[in-house]
Amino acid sequence: MSQATYNAKSITVLEGLEAVRRRPGMYIGGVDKTGLHHLLWEIVDNSVDEVMNGHASRIVVTLHADGKTISVADNGRGIPVDAHPKTGTSALEVIFTTLHAGGKFDNDAYKVAGGLHGVGASVVNALSKALTVEVKRDGYTHTQRYRRGKPQGPVERGEPVRGSGTIVTFTADPEIFQDLSYDPALIAERLEVKTYLNKGLVIAFVDQKNKTSVEFRHDGGVADFLDAVNASRSDQRVAQMPFVLEREDEEGSVRCHVALAWTEATDEDVRSFVNTIPTRDGGTHELGLYSAVSTAVSRFMETHDLLKKGVEIKREDIREGLTGVIAVCVHEPQFQGQTKGRLNNPEVKAQVESMVRPALENFLLKNKSVGDAIAARVIQSAKAREASRAAATQVRRKTPISGRLNLPGKLADCDSGNPEDSELFIVEGDSAGGSAKQGRDRDFQAILPLKGKVLNAEQAGKAKVLDNKELTDITSAIGCGMDDQYDASRIRYGKIILLTDADSDGHHIATLLLTFFYRHVPGLLADGRVYLACPPLYKVTWGQETSWASDDAARDRILARLPKNAKPTITRFKGLGEMPAKLLYETTLDPARRRLLRVVIPQDDRPYTERTMSDLMGKEPEARFKFIMEEAYTAKDIDI
């Protein structure tokens, strides 16, 4: 048997920006919507770096009428256009065509910056079908155009002009990205955050496609940001006065802006940033903040003898209900990966802690009423945690039989006594529930059929939710309780899988269930325990081959792969109930062959999720009417 030869000829050397186009995920995280928007964030961050270093005050982001082209303009110094001493070509061309080239490596050019790796502009250029840079500098305009990372000519000097600045216009490459449509709401949200983190900065967002424009400016900084976070959550504060700190360490290597408040919520919500870059995975600056908060609150409670006998205070008790914003500026930040999701500088933890802890202690001592309210909130959290643990000890599921008297009658439980190995399928309809019960693997798969569409928890009050039998059956089966009674240690199944028909009614039922979980059992979503099953809508048979399609697009892709003279048999399932039990197991229940979609809500997407949930499921119809009017043209075949 012949073997492929592995020698020096097998080693591929990628020149210039070719590596970026070959492996874009290494630089922007992927080629989905997140990766597409990351191109914009890279260019915006370059303009914000000019702002942070005192050279710019205004940024204009324009989404052009085609919905695929973006421009970012600032009134900064303008990218240098003179010849680079090493390459002999324009510094502008070096920046946009060479990885790890830029002014962020020179501390004289930028004291602090979000773009540290010198790859942002060149990566955007490499992944753009077309990109144009216009620079106002030294009294003239200078322009250079690129296609897929390659310059289409030298930098051209234009007419005399006043002022300075840079305009970058680019269109992402359809050969790289799956979808080139930007999300205006997400862009506006991200841009507004930049103005919270840079006092005095003005950012205008012009959406030519939807003919709207908005301008952001927040002179209150992180204090205004904290107000916006709490307003979006609708959680009541335990004390109205927030803690706000704006300070630079003694050595001048870290600048720290912090705003904190405690609410009645049972979770914590802290937004963190480094050099205005959102760090969704946290890092050493967050660790320093959490350590400072825990120590300061504990010392305040000890000083004023507020600790109760028999109540043990833990760090999670102090952080429960905490909302906050921490934004640090670091001269030499070390990020984890090009997408900069986590800060790794070990020294920043101690620097942040040394600034925040004494300031927070002093704040609590000077504002004792605020400190007392926070202390009472902490004690309440500790008592609730102890009570929850005691209750869990009494009712923890030892075997699949224990606690059965409290389970809904329609539940077909599984035999496994290990929650992490067990799955609960919430199935649409008794008929489908019957097929699922027959087809499942009863060792670890439980089935709970639902009757019709469940209550819309976004429009119903808590009392009405508690009176709804379908929803209470779900929480009883899962075992974890809801709202303030939620206890993750009592969960009876590691996976909660929503199994509904692959049509519009099924999607609606799944949405109603997700709304209930989001509002009343958010811990299931936070822990990544909720999944959507993907049952087939079509069966395509040709000769001895059988393929399954979950929607029309998947069916069309299957048909496109068949020979032109093929005459396939296409079966459309009206619902799960008409699928034989064996077929349902093979396509949807079998862990080896099924496809599940995990439902997750990233921390930085929470305001967007909150707004979407309120608009689409809330009581006010205006938002839905607006959505339908704007998106109706995208609907082709409506399943009614």
398 within 8 A of 421, measured Cβ to Cβ: no
- Which residues lie across from 74 on neighbouring strands? 59, 166
User: Quick one: pLDDT at residue 635?
Assistant: 63
Cα separation, 484 vs 520, in Å, equals: 9
CA 407/CA 471 separation, integer angstroms: 13
Calculate the CA 622 to chain-centre distance: 26
366 has pLDDT over 90: yes
pLDDT on residue 395? 47
Nearest Cα residue to 282 out of 236, 336, 319: 336
**Among the listed ranges 45-59, 282-296, 589-603, which one has the minimum average pLDDT value?**
589-603
Kindly state the average pLDDT of the residues 483-512.
Answer: 86
Confidence (pLDDT) at 188: 95
Instruction: Give the pLDDT of residue 120.
Output: 77
pLDDT at 16: 57
**HSE-CB for 298 with a 13 A CA cutoff:** 16
Q: Give the other-Cβ count within 10 Å of 62's Cβ.
A: 18
Which of helix, strand or coil describes residue 62?
A: strand
Q: Is the pLDDT of residue 59 over 90?
A: yes
Residues 6+ apart with CB under 8 A from 183: 33, 37
Give 251-273 as a DSSP string.
Answer: TSSEEEEEEEEEBS-SS-EEEEE
Q: How far apart are CA 593 and CA 573, in angstroms?
A: 19
27 has pLDDT over 90: no
pLDDT of residue 114: 42
Q: Is 249 a catalytic residue?
A: no
Catalytic residue among 215, 503, 586, 610: 503
Fold exhibited by the domain 398-535+573-600: Rossmann fold (3.40.50)
Q: Comparing 59-63, 245-249, 332-336, 471-475, which segment has the lowest mean pLDDT? A: 332-336
Q: Output the CA torsion sign for 150, 152, 154, 156.
A: negative
Residues 95-110: tens digit of each pLDDT: 898 876 544 434 444 4
Tokens of residue 75, six digits: 């009134």
Query: Which of 16-20, 276-280, 513-517, 610-614 bottoms out in mean pLDDT, i.e. has the lowest?
Result: 16-20
The stretches of 578-639 forming alpha helices (DSSP H) are: 581-584, 606-617, 622-631
Give the residue from 590, 584, 595, 540 showing the smallest Cα distance to 429: 584
- Higher-pLDDT residue of 61, 109: 61
Alpha carbon distance 301, 321 (integer Å): 17
Mean pLDDT over residues 542-551, rounded?
A: 82
Ordered DSSP codes for 170-235: EEE-TTT-S-----HHHHHHHHHHHHHHSTT-EEEEEETTTTEEEEE--TTTHHHHHHHHHHHHTP
| pLDDT at position 60 | 97
Range list of H helices, 260-322: 284-303, 315-319
- Asked if the model's pLDDT at residue 1 lies above 60, the reply is no
| Beta strand spans in 558-626 (E) | 569-572, 596-598
Residue 251 among the catalytic residues: no
- CA distance linking residue 446 with residue 421, whole number of Å: 11
Residue 142 has pLDDT above 60, yes or no: yes
Least confident of 35-39, 244-248, 444-448, 450-454: 450-454
- How much is the pLDDT for 628? 78
Predicted confidence at residue 618, as pLDDT, reads 77
Q: Is residue 488 within 8 Å of residue 478, measured between CB atoms?
A: no
The band of 135, judged by pLDDT with boundaries at 50, 70 and 90, is: very high
User: What pTM did the predictor assign?
Assistant: 0.59
Integer CA distances (angstroms), 315 to 212, 417, 444, 483, in order = 46, 32, 36, 22
Helix (H, G, I), strand (E, B) or coil at 531: strand
Is there a contact between 291 and 353 (Cβ–Cβ < 8 Å)? yes
Question: What DSSP element (H or E) covers 281?
Answer: none
Per-residue confidence at 637, pLDDT binned at 50, 70, 90? low
CB atoms within 10 A of CB 100: 10
DSSP 37: H
The pLDDT score that the predictor gives to residue 639 is: 52
Beta-bridge partner residues of 130: 171
pLDDT at 318: 93
Q: Which of 505, 551, 586, 604 is catalytic?
A: 505
Query: What's the burial of 349, exposed, middle or buried (CB within 10 Å: 0-12/13-18/19+)?
Result: buried
Structure-token pair, residue 353: 């802690």
Return d(Cα 301, Cα 282) in angstroms, integer: 28
User: Across the chain, what does the average pLDDT equal?
Assistant: 83
Where are the extended beta strands (E) located within 331-482?
423-428, 445-450
> For 444, which DSSP code?
T
Domain range list for the chain: 18-216, 222-391, 398-535+573-600, 606-640
- Give the mean pLDDT of 198-222: 94
Angle between helices 504-520 and 606-617 (to 10 degrees): 120
Q: In Å, what is the CA distance from 602 to each residue of 275, 280, 368?
A: 21, 8, 36
CB 117 within 8 A of CB 333: no
CATH class as words, domain 18-216: alpha beta
pLDDT at 53 over 80: yes
Tell me the mean pLDDT in the region 544-571.
Answer: 83
The yes-or-no answer on residue 501 being catalytic is: yes
More confident residue, 252 or 227: 227
Q: Which helix (H) or strand (E) holds 473?
A: helix 469-478
Sign of CA dihedral 494, 390, 323, 280: negative
- Stronger pLDDT, 60 or 476, i.e. the higher one: 60
Non-local CB neighbours of 629 within 8 Å, separated by 6+ positions: none
**Could you give the CA distance from residue 483 to residue 264 in angstroms, rounded to a whole number?**
12
Span of 38-52, 204-218, 391-405, 461-475 with lowest mean pLDDT: 391-405
- Work out the burial of residue 407: count CB atoms within 10 Å of its CB; fewer than 13 is exposed, 13-18 middle, 19 or more buried: middle
| Confidence bin at 406 (pLDDT 50/70/90) | low
The CATH number of 222-391 is: 3.30.230.10
Cα 326 to Cα 270: distance, rounded to the nearest angstrom = 8
Instruction: Supply the DSSP symbol for 88.
Output: S
Residues 584 and 576 sit within 8 Å (Cβ to Cβ):
yes
The pLDDT assigned to 352 comes to 94
CA gap 424, 530 in Å, rounded: 10
More confident residue, 219 or 235: 219
Name beta bridge partners: 329: 255
Look at residue 612 and tell me whether its pLDDT is greater than 60: yes
- For residue 30 the two structure tokens come to 């992927």
pLDDT at 125: 93
- Using alpha carbons, list the distances in angstroms from residue 579 to 29, 423, 431, 552, 584: 39, 21, 10, 19, 6
Active-site residue identified among 317, 353, 428, 487: 428
